[in-house]
Amino acid sequence: MARSKSSNAWMQEHVHDHYVHMAQKDGYRARAAYKLLEINEKDKLIRPGTVLADLGSAPCSWSQVAARIVGDKGKVFALDILPMPPIADVSFIQGDFREQEVLDEFVTLLGGRQLDLVISDMAPNISGMSAIDQARSFLLCELALEFARDHLKVGGSFLVKVFQGSDFQPYLQAMRELFSEVVTRKPKASRDRSSEIYLLGKGRR
């Protein structure tokens, strides 16, 4: 079956992408690893000993980054509805974190600890209809924020990918109510044409 023009353009961009080549060289499963690495270099969210959850983790390049940093005293929990090949030192839970059974499994693995950090690079399957895609995207963001509200310790942090649109300001306000500081980040590894940015909430109230 012939590829569409947009699909061909994406393939050309992907093949020549600097971060794709770096990911292959450095052993990361996706170029998204460099977004987290850049943000972490600036904000020091992940340190040795950090306990964190990676929501919508597949293919898990963010979990790979985190696992390399947290060390023996830290812990990385990855959650996704999609299957994922295992990663050393990452506890993966396959399922929808809105479902009680999945949450119960997570809480059991957490073993009474509280999270220092929740990270989410989730995005919906794109339909091509911007209004629908925006709504789906912010639903995922709201679910991630709710998860952070339930599981982050006081003083903890939350990093989430959002797409700029009509729901952005209300979502930003909701984050400001939960965190003492909220900042935006646009890492160099984000493609220029993408409307994605990252919101970082610091200091859970």
pLDDT digit string, tens, across residues 61-97: 999 999 999 999 999 999 999 999 999 999 999 999 9
Percent of the chain with pLDDT over 70: 92
Is residue 79 domain-resident? yes
Is residue 10 domain-resident? no
pLDDT digit string, tens, across residues 113-140: 999 999 999 987 777 777 778 888 899 9
Average pLDDT, the chain: 91
Look at the chain and report how many structural domains it folds into: 1
Rounded Cα gap, residues 160 and 50, in angstroms: 17
Is residue 2 domain-resident? no
Comparing 13-22, 112-121, 178-187, 192-201, the range with the smallest average pLDDT is 13-22
Active site residues: 161
Is residue 4 domain-resident? no
Q: Please, what is the angle between helix 33-43 and helix 61-70, to 10°?
A: 40
Mean pLDDT in residue range 27-38:
95
Full residue range of the structural domain in which residue 86 is found: 30-204
The CATH number assigned to the domain holding 160 equals: 3.40.50.150
Is residue 51 domain-resident? yes
Is residue 66 domain-resident? yes
Is residue 126 domain-resident? yes
Q: Is the pLDDT of residue 4 over 70?
A: no
Is residue 9 domain-resident? no
Are 187 and 198 in contact by the 8 Å Cβ rule? The answer is yes
Q: Is 47 helix (H, G, I), strand (E, B) or coil?
A: coil
